[in-house]
Structure 1
Amino acid sequence: MLNPVTPEFLDALRAALPEGTLRAQKDGELDDPRGRHVGLAAIVAQPRSTDEVATIARLCHEAGVGIVPLGGGTGLVLGQVAHSGPAPVVISFERMTAVRAVYPTENAMVVEAGAILHDVQAAAEAVDRLFPLSLASEGSCRIGGNLATNAGGLNVLRYGNTRDLCLGLEVVMADGTIWHGLKRLRKDNTGYDLKNLMIGSEGTLGIITAATLRLFPRPTHEAAAIFVVDNPQGAIDLLALAQATVGEGISAFEMMSGVGLDFLTETLPDVRQPFGTNPDWSVLIDLGLSGESDPQEMLLALFEKAHAAELVSDGVISQNETQRQQFWSVREHIPVGNRNIGSISSHDISIPLSRIPDFIPEGIAKLQALGDVRINCFGHLGDGNLHYNVFPAKGRDRKDFDDIRGAVKKCVHDLTHAYDGSVSAEHGVGRLKVEDLERYQDPVKLAAMRSIKQALDPKGVLNPGAVLRAL
């Protein structure tokens, strides 16, 4: 059981840290982005260095006081929102934003955990390199949070999750000791893989303070296309054809449903859509190539093959970067349209690719049996990650469905589990999905996770209640 923060503890914390490190919680700072919960903080610390983070962790460990790391606050599963139990010390990384070093010839850079993702991308671009992690929240999310949740995003098909983009970490452990693991090596078989244990642990095993990130050559030619398909099976068949035709040049392969496009028409009419009538299903394909290859020609050849195979019925191919960005604007505004409508329940799931065509209609039928709802299914089809979100019928409010919200979530997650999928594809577990983890996870894995937590954080001070239930 964790202890509350006392005046004596705060005095000791202030005495150990530079003046101005501690402050009160700001309005809205710890609010859940979906507006359902507000986080607690006894005090907010703004350290400027890893040593200061270590000092905070050491004092909290000694006093049995909880710690919640805070990045950009964009997480959707309450990983940064401690809304019950003793109010913790929140460590905000807003001051630890430095790019410590860039090594273009090694395709690597070292950044602090508070660096905003967009700034990391810009630092890579400044040396003609690419850091490919791309998220809707990249203007405000921070790289420490991306690593802590093993964020996915738009380019996983080609470059992998955040875990695949990290070479080394610097981490403050629960007792305040520091693991200096900022190596730039591609090969290092010296025992247990502590780096990949920390990535995705959501601040429950250690506090990431800096990372060595992988960079890539920038594609010299890029283009995008939106192709109309009849159904999700057609989208999957198109993906296979695209991979056979274009190979590793595919950076992203996004499926969009007509429901999501209708939401844009309804709430964001200024977003320019490529078709006069919104198709039921369409796919956004993005290519990034180097050398003499012409991405427009490759996309045209793909369309011709797909049309001959009756996989696509219509399509548009970008002729310049402005058009490419217009296509991406459609995809990137779908979550905004979702927020404008207001979901009853949102789900970040992954399904084996071959089973997606059966999963989607079965889920729709089961959900519509619960109430008068609309389902916007969209997402990163190339890696099997679907955002399977449930909305009220047109003209109704999501509050009208509060009585079935739990049943809706259980319906989607039960079906996902039955299809050998995951109820958390890229957002993590946080506090929102702790019960889901207990319900659906392999019991041996869950027991191993609890043993690791006990070994690395025996007092349970690190992000208490996230991922694993606080005991």
Structure 2
Amino acid sequence: MDAFLDACRRAIGATHVLTEAADTAPYLTDWRRRFTGKACAVLKPADTQELATLVRLCNEYKVPMVPQGGNTGLVLGGIPDDSGTAAILSLTRVNRIRQIDPVNNTITVEAGCILKNIQAAAGDAARLFPLSLAAEGSCTIGGNLSTNAGGTAVLRYGNTRELCLGLEVVTPQGDIWNGLRGLRKDNTGYDLRDLYIGAEGTLGFITAAVLKLYPQPKAQLTALAALRTPDDALRLLSLAQSHCVSALTGFELMSGFCLRLVNRHFPDMRPPFAEEHPQYVLLELSDSESEEHAQTMLEHVISTAMQQDLIQDAIVARSIAQSQAIWDIREHIPLAQAVEGKNIKHDVSIPISRIGDFIRTTDALLQQAFPGARMVTFGHLGDGNLHYNVAHPEQETDQSFLQKQTAVNRVVHDSVHQHGGSISAEHGIGALKRTEILRYKSDVEMQLMRSIKQALDPLNLMNPGKLI
């Protein structure tokens, strides 16, 4: 191991080869602080060439590699195991914005770029990069691509996969594939780009990407609607889509318990209604015509929904501050959960038409098996992605409840499967759900995935123990 570390120091400089416990600690524990792994070193290359050199050294010395970006993942995808044999390769220094092409509506960025910085660079060019999620101030685009992150604007713009035109990748052998083509049509063989997106660092290192940009909308309007049931929310979604079409960019479902948690732990954040309601929907419109046009559309949807008795109350933000206050409530749900105590998280995807039935059925099954369990249900209703989290009963400690995680997961994931859904929508599989997917994917599908892994990474050095 000393020979390997010495070679790494010669390749990228001793300053960027971290081995002391105090220096490596921030890279070894996951964001939710559930697990701390061990690593022989944290290696921080400055660019693609240095990364390729490190990968070749890892091959020479048979050192497993764990790619890491902002370390904001939720499924232990960027954390090594506890053997101490792997090296973490952190891409946070590989963070340049290489090019903005406003005519082609693209931006070329390196994997370590913070998502919020990409949004800002696009804004400086009078363009929009629409990927947006709670961790955007610290997550990196490489991690977003590796997990095919979703976020709040999937309804209009799609997942990260849909926002990417080309990639640069360092293979598990240390070769560099330059696929940074800003083309919307390129039918010249297998789509290698899509192979690496969502692979969670098990097939190679994404080092740069060409991303789609869009014209800045002339207006963005936000509304918060109070409803009785998720089924009413689905009917409101259909109504909003029929009236607003592609202008509808956000449609977030939040249960009443979610908002009570936020208000309990962040008293300044409360729904702007006189009374509590069972469900809430956050709607956002992004209009290319004018603010007046967007206002007319949104108010028409709200008034029609009230006439049809779909919503019980609603407020339309009249300022940027009001809009931000509504979004802050939504974004503080995970933070409020963390303050309330540890909980059992599920990032699931359900066919949109079956979401109401899934929530009703699964709520009942959990109450039957775990009386008093509290469901913290919220998510991107427009694309079928629910964060269906389960908190401990009031009279039980969170640590005691966490011991039932396997049983809780079985109820939720079996119900997801029975409703034609997926047990991972946007967080990935990582190490946390690696064995769980074997219950729900066919032998044929798993064997195809293993064949791809074996073909591209025969030594199994790329993020071992993750995904498959």
Match of 1:109 in 2: 107
TM-score by length of 2: 0.97
SS in 1 for 2:355: helix
Match of 2:9 in 1: 14
Match of 1:27 in 2: 25
- 1:196-345 to structure 2, matched below 5 A, reads 196-292=194-290, 293-345=292-344
Q: Quick check: 1:296–1:318 contact (8 Å CA) kept in 2?
A: no
Q: What residue identity is the alignment partner of 1:338?
A: Q
SS in 1 for 2:199: coil
After TM superposition, give the deviation of residue 444 of structure 1 in Å: 1.4
Match of 1:186 in 2: 184
Q: What residue identity is the alignment partner of 1:100?
A: R
Alpha-carbon displacement from aligned partner over 1:36-74 (angstroms, at most 9, x marks no partner): 101221111110110110011111112221000110000
SS in 2 for 1:310: coil
After TM superposition, give the deviation of residue 276 of structure 1 in Å: 2.8
SS in 1 for 2:100: strand
- Equivalent-residue separation in structure 2 for 1:314 and 1:465 (angstroms): 48
Between stretches 34-43 and 414-423, larger displacement belongs to: 34-43
Q: What residue identity is the alignment partner of 2:151?
A: G
TM-score by length of 1: 0.96
SS in 2 for 1:368: helix
- Equivalent-residue separation in structure 1 for 2:32 and 2:325 (angstroms): 27
Q: What residue identity is the alignment partner of 1:457?
A: D
Q: What residue identity is the alignment partner of 2:443?
A: P
Alpha-carbon displacement from aligned partner over 1:324-383 (angstroms, at most 9, x marks no partner): 111111111111111111243110001111111111011111111222210011100000
Q: Quick check: 1:151–1:161 contact (8 Å CA) kept in 2?
A: yes
Q: Does 1:357 align with 2:383?
A: no
Q: Quick check: 1:30–1:73 contact (8 Å CA) kept in 2?
A: no
SS in 2 for 1:163: helix
Match of 2:76 in 1: 78
- Equivalent-residue separation in structure 2 for 1:321 and 1:55 (angstroms): 47
- Equivalent-residue separation in structure 1 for 2:436 and 2:400 (angstroms): 24
Between stretches 228-237 and 8-17, larger displacement belongs to: 8-17
- Equivalent-residue separation in structure 2 for 1:298 and 1:133 (angstroms): 24
Alpha-carbon displacement from aligned partner over 1:79-135 (angstroms, at most 9, x marks no partner): 011223443111111211110111011100111110000000000000000000001
Match of 1:120 in 2: 118
Identity %: 47
Between stretches 284-293 and 46-55, larger displacement belongs to: 284-293
Match of 1:38 in 2: 36
- 1:376-415 to structure 2, matched below 5 A, reads 376-394=376-394, 396-415=396-415
Count of matched residue positions in the alignment of Structure 1 and Structure 2: 463
Match of 1:463 in 2: 463
Match of 1:62 in 2: 60
- Equivalent-residue separation in structure 2 for 1:436 and 1:31 (angstroms): 22
SS in 2 for 1:76: coil
Q: What residue identity is the alignment partner of 2:412?
A: V
Q: Quick check: 2:263–2:270 contact (8 Å CA) kept in 1?
A: no
Q: What residue identity is the alignment partner of 2:78?
A: Q
SS in 2 for 1:312: coil
Q: Quick check: 1:343–1:390 contact (8 Å CA) kept in 2?
A: no
Q: What residue identity is the alignment partner of 1:344?
A: N
Q: Quick check: 1:251–1:288 contact (8 Å CA) kept in 2?
A: yes
Q: Quick check: 1:272–1:326 contact (8 Å CA) kept in 2?
A: no
Q: What residue identity is the alignment partner of 2:324?
A: Q
Between stretches 273-282 and 417-426, larger displacement belongs to: 273-282
After TM superposition, give the deviation of residue 282 of structure 1 in Å: 1.1
Q: Quick check: 2:76–2:431 contact (8 Å CA) kept in 1?
A: yes
Alpha-carbon displacement from aligned partner over 1:365-404 (angstroms, at most 9, x marks no partner): 1111222210011100000000000012235421121331
Q: Does 1:52 align with 2:50?
A: yes
Structure 1 segments (4+ residues) deviating >4 Å: none
SS in 1 for 2:187: coil
Match of 1:3 in 2: none
- Equivalent-residue separation in structure 2 for 1:129 and 1:442 (angstroms): 42
Unaligned 5+ runs, structure 1: 1-5
SS in 1 for 2:332: helix
- Equivalent-residue separation in structure 2 for 1:342 and 1:218 (angstroms): 39
Between stretches 330-339 and 392-401, larger displacement belongs to: 392-401
SS in 1 for 2:281: strand
- Equivalent-residue separation in structure 2 for 1:272 and 1:364 (angstroms): 25
Q: What residue identity is the alignment partner of 2:333?
A: I
SS in 2 for 1:389: strand
Between stretches 366-375 and 168-177, larger displacement belongs to: 366-375
Superposition RMSD in Å: 1.2
Q: Quick check: 1:252–1:285 contact (8 Å CA) kept in 2?
A: yes
After TM superposition, give the deviation of residue 308 of structure 1 in Å: 1.4
- Equivalent-residue separation in structure 2 for 1:74 and 1:123 (angstroms): 22
Residues 83 and 449 from structure 1, CA distance in 2 versus in 1: closer, same or farther, beyond 3 angstroms? same
